[in-house]
Structure 1
Amino acid sequence: MIKPIGDEASLLNLGQPVNLGQRMPIDLSQFGRADDQPSFSSLLKQALDHVNSLQQDSSNRMHAIETGASTDLVGAMIAAQKSSLSFQALMQVRNKVVSAYEEVMRMQI
């Protein structure tokens, strides 16, 4: 017998965005007023710093597992996946920026 859909559907949160962990923090407080727009270079630097911190955290956790100082293998693997995904996303952004730059350079005035 087929069971009718009831409360199980509300558990799925269909149509709701999935939270895959923390998002990259962007500190806009350094820009002062709401009128000030952050520069591309400052946002890019914050993104690079965030990816770097994720990779360092992953490296430290893996080193702790390898030396026996920690038994949190799951936490180390999650940190490794977070750093890997953030690096891949950063590389995609870099590829798009380089592609846009090359296209602008090909334009004739």
Structure 2
Amino acid sequence: MIIPKNIEELANYVKKGKNVFFFTADWCGDCSFIKPQMPETEAAFPQFQFIQVDRDDYLDVAAEWNIFGIPSFVVTNDGEELGRLVNKNRKTKEEIVDFLEKVEG
């Protein structure tokens, strides 16, 4: 999981490559629930780079992308959004895997 150090680094990931943006926050209980399962999910989808985005550190990005619930996932390919799993519900590993399989097509 890549954790961008600044907005410029985050923007570069948005522009280039096949990426899964995982919006999270330290205080988020549902994020803490899914984080331990993310390495397995990441390993199952090697065609994607997984980018962890702390919603509190990147509030402007979260607002621009309409991320109002976390944890949330947005998949892009060279700057084009391919899909999103964005809501306020707790996510399971199975839900995330199903979502990524559908996006992958």
Length-normalised TM-score, structure 1: 0.22
Q: Which of the pair has the greater relative contact order for Cα pairs under 8 Å at 6+ separation? A: 2
User: If each structure's helix is expressed as a fraction of its own residues, which one has the higher value?
Assistant: 1
Answer 1 or 2: which has greater strand percent. 2
Q: Which has the larger radius of gyration?
A: 1
